[in-house]
C-alpha cells in the first residue's frame, strides 16, 4: 500500500512540474518576440509612417532626392507621379513613393 501511495504522489508531483515547465517553455519564445518587436518591427513602422508623411507633404518647387539618387525640383504634381526638373528644362517623371528625401530650399543651386 505504501508503494502505491508513493507512486501516486510522485505522479501528481510530476504532473505539476510538467504544467509549470510548459509555461516556462514558452517564456524564451515570448522574450524573442518582444525583442524583435522593439528592435526590428517598431522602428520599421516608424520609418514607414515618416515616409508617408513626406510623400503627402510634397509641393511644387520642393527640392527632393529619389531612391536612385536623382536630385531635382518638383515642377508638376500628380496623384501617383511627380515631374522633377533635373537639369534646366529637362523633366523626369518619377513615382511619388520613389522620393526618399526632401532637401532644404536652395540646396540644388549651391550644389551646382
Residue spans per domain, the chain: 1-57, 58-111
Please determine, for residue 21, whether its predicted confidence score (pLDDT) is greater than 90: no
The band of 8, judged by pLDDT with boundaries at 50, 70 and 90, is: low
* Three-class DSSP category at 36: helix
- Which pLDDT belongs to residue 89? 78
Distance CA 44, CA 54 (A): 15
What is the separation, in whole angstroms, between the first and last Cα of the chain?
97
- Interval 63-86: pLDDT, tens: 999 999 999 999 999 999 999 998
Q: What is the CATH number of domain 58-111?
A: 2.30.30.140
Which pLDDT value is given to residue 97? 93
Amino acid at each position: 500500500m505504501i508503494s502505491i501511495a508513493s507512486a501516486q504522489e510522485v505522479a501528481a508531483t510530476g504532473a505539476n512540474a510538467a504544467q509549470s515547465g510548459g509555461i516556462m517553455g514558452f517564456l524564451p519564445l515570448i522574450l524573442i518576440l518582444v525583442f524583435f518587436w522593439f528592435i526590428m518591427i517598431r522602428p520599421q513602422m516608424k520609418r514607414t509612417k515618416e515616409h508617408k508623411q513626406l510623400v503627402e507633404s510634397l509641393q511644387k518647387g520642393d527640392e527632393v532626392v529619389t531612391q536612385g539618387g536623382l536630385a531635382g525640383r518638383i515642377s508638376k504634381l500628380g496623384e501617383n507621379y511627380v515631374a522633377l526638373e533635373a537639369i534646366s528644362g529637362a523633366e523626369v517623371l518619377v513615382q511619388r513613393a520613389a522620393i526618399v528625401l526632401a532637401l532644404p530650399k536652395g540646396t540644388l543651386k549651391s550644389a551646382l
